[in-house]
Amino acid sequence: MVKKILFFASGNGTNVENIVRFFEHDKKVKWLGVFTNNPQAGVIERSLRLGIEVRIFSKKEFSNGNLLEEVQLLNPDLIVLAGFLWKIGPEWIAHFPNQIINIHPALLPKYGGKGMYGNHVHLAVKENGEQESGITIHYVNEEYDKGAYIHQAKVTLDASDDVEQIAAKVHALEYEHFPKVIAALIYEQ
């Protein structure tokens, strides 16, 4: 059976692109689109180039139930947050139990929570002199970055790594692991 996947993203969209390319020849995957709150996001052009529909939504639509209704009609098997920063409301979780997953660019429970995204995470990791960082792919629940972990992967940091180098190491892990985790999830269903 075809698995329908919907992305939520508000950044550059390199993970979206990497995931789409991973499943390029997979007839069992259908992309429902990329939903974004950020009309300036790089993910928009990237997705359109890949032939994926983009839906830009407002804060109001996100919180008043209209967007949720729209997504329910699309009936996704999986919702993938790939660099999406807004908190997912409990009504979303209730409608899509264990069907919303997120990638976080650190080894949760460290460096999670509100405000911890992108380079803010890597800067905090650097300032604390961590010798390793990594990624956490997890189910989304009512609390930021607190849902059950699906997969974690680590990378060793050098004391000389700057924030950009840490980000690059973590991104490399994301590109390697996120598509495979998605594949495992949709094929076990």
Is 71 or 108 the residue whose CB approaches ligand GAR more closely?
A: 108
Nearest approach in angstroms of CB 8 to ligand GAR is: 11
Which residue's CB comes closest to ligand GAR?
Answer: 83
Is 118 or 179 the residue whose CB approaches ligand GAR more closely?
A: 118
25, 104, 138, 177: the active-site residue: 104
Nearest approach in angstroms of CB 61 to ligand GAR is: 21
Nearest approach in angstroms of CB 141 to ligand GAR is: 14
Is residue 138 flagged as an active site residue?
Answer: no
| DSSP string computed for the chain | -PEEEEEE--S--HHHHHHHHHTTT-TTEEEEEEEES-TT-HHHHHHHHTT--EEE--HHHHHSSHHHHHHHHH--SEEEESS--SPPPHHHHHHSTT-EEEEESS-TTTT-STT--HHHHHHHHHHTT-SEEEEEEEE--SSTT-SPEEEEEEEE--TT--HHHHHHHHHHHHHHHHHHHHHHHHHH-
Active site residues per annotation: 104
